[in-house]
Amino acid sequence: MLKTDRMIFTIDNKEISFEKILQWEFKRLVRAHKVLTNVYGIHFQDEVAQWIKTKNLKALDDEITRVKMTIEPDKLREALKSKYDLGNMGLMVAEKMSVGKRRFSTTEIYVPESDLSAQEIADKIWHIMQVNTDINMRLNLDASPDHFIFRQAGENVQEVVEISGGTVVPQHYFIHYNDMQGVQSEASQDYPIQIAGTMRLSNRTIVGAIRYQFKPEGSGFKVKILMEYPKLIPIEVVLNQQIHQADEFGHWISDVLDS
């Protein structure tokens, strides 16, 4: 669960409340439940309907993550393929019609007190994203209700099947870290630690990019999370993605602070 007492979230230079993030997470958990119920052979505990009715976030989160962990990636790809093919087509059309222009989805997280340095935080999050242990797989799937596959697919390559920006259908893409061909955002000079890369479809088509930045701040650290979308993507998707990023990195940071 999010360590809401340890972090301050900022979007567009405005602090956002923990309640807004948790409300968003609950809605996305309900959406994830609907998506997963269509996967053949998947069974949820009988209490799920009651947890949704009473908005029992922790129980619902634990159950969604448990179910995700029971599904082999090949089976989940097959079950979601028709949906993410549609999502990928939308990304390809948006990228082509945007003629290289981008929208940036940016979220900042500040942890005022931490025994871990900014570099240690970055290294631990990188390890979670890039090493496919059972623990890391669970942490990646639990980081967001919208994560369905989130795993290392090669050296500095990450496979992602997720619903980004609160949209209806998932997308299936690969983040190629240290591949800067598709990265248009400028690095922030006051953030010395960078993780960046290009988002590509399986056919190598560039559809966006990511840039994660870390820096020490007082007795703690700050993280700036940025995702690049084709310019044609609706602004509402970007606004929802900013909350997605707050929830996602908030979970990873909480997990790292616990380690």
- Calculate Rg over the CA atoms of the chain: 17
Range of the structural domain that residue 94 is part of:
8-258
The answer to whether residue 88 is domain-embedded is yes
Bridge partners (DSSP) listed for residue 90: none
Say whether pLDDT at 1 is over 80: no
Each residue's pLDDT tens digit, 63-112: 999 999 999 999 999 999 999 999 999 999 999 999 989 999 999 999 99
d(CA 102, CA 121): 28
6, burial (CB in 10 Å: exposed 0-12, middle 13-18, buried 19+):
middle
Question: Whole-prediction pTM value?
Answer: 0.95
The answer to whether residue 3 is domain-embedded is no
Token pair belonging to 169: 């259908």
The answer to whether residue 148 is domain-embedded is yes
The mean pLDDT of 213-217, rounded to a whole number, is 98
The answer to whether residue 142 is domain-embedded is yes
The answer to whether residue 52 is domain-embedded is yes
Greatest Cα pair distance in the chain: 51
pLDDT of residue 160: 98
Q: Which 8-state DSSP code applies to residue 169?
A: S
Tally of structural domains, the chain: 1
Each residue's pLDDT tens digit, 4-53: 788 999 999 999 999 999 999 999 999 999 999 988 788 999 999 999 99
The answer to whether residue 59 is domain-embedded is yes
| CATH number, position 100 | 3.30.530.20
The answer to whether residue 74 is domain-embedded is yes
The answer to whether residue 2 is domain-embedded is no
- Of 185, 213, 189, 188, nearest to 199 (Cα)? 185
Long-range pairs of 199-203 with CB within 8 A, sequence gap ≥ 24: 199/173, 199/174, 199/175, 199/228, 200/173, 200/174, 200/176, 201/88, 201/91, 201/92, 201/172, 201/173, 201/174, 202/172, 202/173, 202/174
